[in-house]
Amino acid sequence: MTTLTPSLDGQHRANVAARWREIDAGKIIRVIDLVNERALPVKARHQERLNRILNADIKLDAKIYALWEAVDEIGALAAPHSACRRGCSHCCHVPVLVPEQEAALIGKRIGVKPAKVKGVKRGDESLARYDNPCPFLKGGACSIYASRPLACRQQFNMDSDALLCELVEDGAPPKVPYLNMFDYTTVLAMMTARRESRIERDPLTGLPVVEERYTPPNVGDIRDFFPNGKR
């Protein structure tokens, strides 16, 4: 496990505090505003397309893949302004939650059947540490980059370097100024939720009405779905 000595740990915390003073002064807001401005027409197009896909009679794999493509397009706009670079793998040591349907798609693409996972077995931020890497991290890089889950595709640190991503001895990194991709996360949740239609009685009129009920998807950490990586 990679840890920091007490003196280095103290210096790290001081550096983090100084960086957040810069961020709070508006340094990152200007960068994120620039990316968001350029992304507005792209997101509008995505919203229209993904709404159609959500209700389309096509396989779920195709829907998830379309979502991946959409997020990658936003990622291309964010990348030049982000601290994320090839060889930086701090975020490959934190929990990565994946719905079982997305894990199944990843498994098909890499030729590995995911394990059965019932509910979240991992996800506690205290598991974020350097001796607990993603099983697909090889040589400091993602070995399934083209098939990585949405959680990884949409994670962009909008700072100038990886300081705030570093994992300190007591676990998870401090707050990181990630690009807000919540709307795409919501789409994945809607895609993978189980929808059931039931006939209910309207309490006011007594007439039958169709009620849609959604059950959240079964979610697990990528380490649970693929404990051995690609082997």
Predicted confidence (pLDDT) per residue in 141-184, tens digit: 999 999 999 999 999 999 999 999 998 755 555 689 999 999 99
**Is residue 201, in this structure, part of any structural domain at all?**
no
| DSSP conformational letter for 178 | B
> Which band of pLDDT confidence, cut at 50, 70 and 90, is reported for residue 2?
very low
Predicted confidence (pLDDT) per residue in 27-75, tens digit: 888 999 999 999 999 999 999 999 999 989 999 999 999 999 999 999 9
**Is residue 210, in this structure, part of any structural domain at all?**
no
**Is residue 200, in this structure, part of any structural domain at all?**
no
**Is residue 141, in this structure, part of any structural domain at all?**
yes
**Is residue 106, in this structure, part of any structural domain at all?**
yes
For residue 59, give Cα distances in angstroms to 19, 46, 191, 192, 202.
45, 19, 11, 11, 33
**Is residue 45, in this structure, part of any structural domain at all?**
yes
Residue 174 neighbours by CB under 8 Å, 6+ apart: 16, 20, 164, 168
Residue 7 has a pLDDT of 57
Domain count, the chain: 1
**Is residue 20, in this structure, part of any structural domain at all?**
yes
Integer Cα distance of 96 and 110 in angstroms: 18
Question: Which residue range is the domain that position 123 belongs to?
Answer: 6-192+217-225
Q: What angle do CA 102, 183, 227 make, to 5 degrees?
A: 25
Residue 172 has a pLDDT of 57
For residue 13, give Cα distances in angstroms to 82, 84, 102, 171, 213.
22, 21, 36, 13, 46
pLDDT-above-90 percentage for the chain: 65
